[in-house]
Amino acid sequence: MPELPEVETTVRALREPVVGRTIIDVWNDWPRLIVTHDLDELKYQIHNQTVQAISRRAKYLVFHLTNGEHLIIHLKMSGHLSVVAPEIPRHKHVHTIFHLDNGKELRFKDMRKFGRVYLVKNTDEFFQKLGPEPLEDSFTVDLLKERLKGRRRIMKTTLLDQHIIAGIGNIYADEALFYAGIHPERGADELTEEDFVKLHAAIKKVLNLGIAREGASIDLYAKPDGTRGEMQNAVAVFRRTGQLCRQCEQYIQRKKLNGRSTHFCPTCQR
């Protein structure tokens, strides 16, 4: 479910209730969610550790602990984090709970169980293979060009590859290609100078719009407090199959590309 804007929204919402809190215990009923440790080891490692900061890298949330360890969580398709009082009934899809020193619980709910928890010391090493953050100032037109250089796969698939650029998923890939006027089946090596400039601006535009609107609640995604984002009301093409393009008289088309549902305007995108 969540892409860069949804994860960023989650991080921002968790800072107030979690930063400064100390983790006193961990509960889990689906061991595969925790990748780097078994439950007892994890409990031992993070017991009495205070969360000093929460940050985001690509679609990962990073909780910085006082002992120098980093608790890293990926929400994958259906993950959701919330901080609630213990008396709130636990939803059946909650598979991990971090108990905080004020009695509240940081709950990781994940219907499809694709989500993952890691505890790592060295984040540079952990994130080594990820591409650049598209919203950083260092993500320039030249850097985008360099990242796409020599790649022959189609643009849709290229934008989804986290090793090339980090943080873009299915919604924002379709949206960015629309605003750039680039057909999703164009090869990355066919882009012109003008395409690079437009794509660079389009990526920043759609991700910033997604953050401003606090994420796209098209299916399962919700903010930590359970309320919906607003980005679903501002999409140009995603899941708008058969509806009118906002820029011309054509209808939005859907096509499956390398297994991923892709939405585009055949007139505006070439």
Partner DNA sequence: ACCGGAGCCTGTTAGC
Partner DNA sequence: TGCTAACAGGCTCCGG
Active site residue 43: no
**Residue 12 Rama label (left phi>0; alpha psi -120 to 50; beta):** alpha
First to last CA, the chain: 28
Active site residue 89: no
Q: Give the integer Cα–Cα distance in Å for 54 and 61.
A: 7
Q: Which ranges of the chain does DSSP label H, i.e. alpha helix?
A: 4-18, 39-46, 123-126, 141-148, 155-160, 170-180, 193-212
Query: Judged by CB, which is closer to DNA: 14, or 100?
Result: 14
226 to 265, contacts with DNA by CB under 7 A?
256, 258-261
Spatial contact of 30 and 84, defined as CB atoms under 8 Å apart: no
Burial 72-96 (b: 16+ CB within 10 A, else e): bbbbebbbbbbbbeeeeeeeebbbb
105 to 164, contacts with DNA by CB under 7 A?
111-114, 150-154, 157, 160, 162
Catalytic residue from among 57, 59, 156, 223: 59
Query: Judged by CB, which is closer to DNA: 51, or 131?
Result: 131
Does residue 219 interact with DNA by CB under 7 A? yes
166 to 195, contacts with DNA by CB under 7 A?
169-171, 188
Active site residue 153: no
45 to 84, contacts with DNA by CB under 7 A?
58-59, 74, 76-77
Query: Judged by CB, which is closer to DNA: 89, or 152?
Result: 152
Does residue 9 interact with DNA by CB under 7 A? no
As a residue count, the chain comes to 270
Active site residue 59: yes
Q: Which residues face 64 on adjacent strands? A: 53, 70
Does residue 1 interact with DNA by CB under 7 A? yes
Q: What are phi and psi of 225, to 5 degrees?
A: -80, 5
Q: How far is the CB of 60 from DNA (least distance, A)?
A: 8
Q: How far is the CB of 30 from DNA (least distance, A)?
A: 8
Contacts with 111 (C-beta within 8 Å, 6 or more apart), sequence order: 78, 93, 220
Residues known to be catalytic: 2-3, 59, 260
- Which residues in this chain contact DNA in the complex, by CB under 7 A? 1-3, 6, 32, 58-59, 74, 76-77, 92-93, 111-114, 150-154, 157, 160, 162, 169-171, 188, 215-221, 256, 258-261
